[in-house]
């Protein structure tokens, strides 16, 4: 039986898209220039499900999203378990811009790294504002900590920067958080504090007296779990050139292999393949494909 032109067209389209139908999602190892390792992933099903709602890869840009905005992840130190982010509304020694401040979501698996320093700039000096930004809070150890320090050398150094010095206000309008403690809400409400802008940095870069050389941004610490243990199953997966991920209603661990197949162990043993399309759907689609060919013939 000779195939008609429409039949050949349908067969060609079916066979052309067949590989797409049977391939599982492949988790990427990079997002732009940033290498992705556990607990971060390139999309849903990749990395750790606790981190996926907060850190995502879009258009080859890794971003952290909170209820206050989205921030570019500039680098990740996997040894120290710290991510570094930038805030385009943050003032630096190069520019001063108005800002709403920074905040973390209460359920995000991050805390402020001890290296992070925040400074509120150009704050109102009325009594209510000073009370709000320099009040004391309980740190959980029955001791009180100063929420913000109004007298610190950091303020003098920051106000030596040309963009900030043009404000032409006294040093007392600057207030420094170190270590950062924004209270249980993890929220810096600049409007409430009556401070129009803020700056943050995490490294003096061996230039303590030259704010132009400081590393501006925010350093955030993350933990793998409550016990902060790196999962052994993930370590085995990454050693076999797989990418750690999750699947199913219970977010069960999977190892996403370079060919797109998911396993429950690593990428070295084909017998462990499951959860992948080739182990289930593929064996259903291929017979259907050949059945279609037989009917057309």
The parts of the chain modelled with pLDDT lower than 70 are: 1-25, 127-147, 165-171, 269-297
Which residues make Cβ contacts (< 8 Å) with residue 157, sequence separation at least 6? 209, 210, 211
pLDDT of residue 193: 84
Q: Where do the structural domains in the chain lie, given as residue ranges?
A: 5-28+232-296, 88-222
Say how many residues make up the chain.
Answer: 297
CA distance 292 to 170: 81
CA distance 21 to 125: 64
Percentage of the chain lying above the pLDDT 90 cut? 45
Give Cα separations from 220 to 45, 96, 117, 129, 201 (angstroms). 23, 23, 11, 27, 11
Task: Tell me whether strands 61-66 and 69-77 are parallel, antiparallel or unpaired.
Answer: antiparallel
| Reported pTM | 0.78
pLDDT of residue 212: 92
Q: Cα 118–122–123 angle (5° rounding)? A: 85
**pLDDT tens digits for 246-255?**
998 889 999 9
Q: Burial level of 143, CB count in 10 A (0-12/13-18/19+)?
A: exposed
Are 120 and 190 in contact by the 8 Å Cβ rule? The answer is yes
């Amino acid at each position: 039986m000779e195939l008609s032109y429409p039949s050949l067209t349908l067969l060609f389209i079916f066979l052309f898209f067949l590989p797409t139908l049977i391939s599982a999602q492949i988790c990427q190892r990079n997002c732009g220039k940033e290498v992705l390792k556990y607990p971060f992933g390139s999309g849903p099903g990749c990395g750790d499900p606790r981190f996926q709602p907060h850190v995502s890869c879009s258009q080859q840009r890794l971003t952290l999203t909170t209820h206050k905005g989205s921030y570019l992840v500039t680098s990740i130190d996997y040894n120290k378990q710290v991510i570094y982010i930038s805030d385009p509304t943050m003032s630096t020694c190069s520019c001063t811009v108005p800002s709403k401040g920074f905040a973390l979501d209460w359920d995000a698996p991050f805390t402020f790294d001890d290296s992070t320093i925040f400074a509120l700039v150009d704050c109102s000096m009325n009594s209510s504002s000073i009370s709000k930004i320099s009040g004391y809070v309980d740190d959980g150890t029955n001791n009180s900590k100063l929420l913000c320090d109004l007298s610190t050398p950091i303020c003098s150094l920051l106000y030596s920067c040309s963009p900030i010095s043009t404000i032409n206000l006294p040093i007392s309008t600057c207030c420094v958080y170190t270590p950062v403690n924004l209270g249980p809400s993890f929220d810096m409400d600049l409007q409430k504090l009556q401070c129009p802008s803020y700056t943050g940095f995490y490294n003096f870069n061996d230039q303590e007296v030259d704010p132009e050389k400081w590393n501006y941004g925010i350093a955030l610490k993350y933990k793998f779990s409550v016990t902060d243990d790196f999962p052994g199953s993930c370590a085995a997966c990454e050693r076999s050139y797989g990418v750690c991920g999750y699947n199913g209603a219970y977010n069960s661990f999977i190892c996403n292999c370079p060919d797109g197949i998911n396993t429950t162990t690593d990428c070295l043993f084909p017998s462990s393949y499951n959860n992948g399309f080739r182990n289930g759907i593929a064996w259903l689609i291929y017979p259907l494909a050949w059945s279609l060919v037989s009917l057309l013939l």
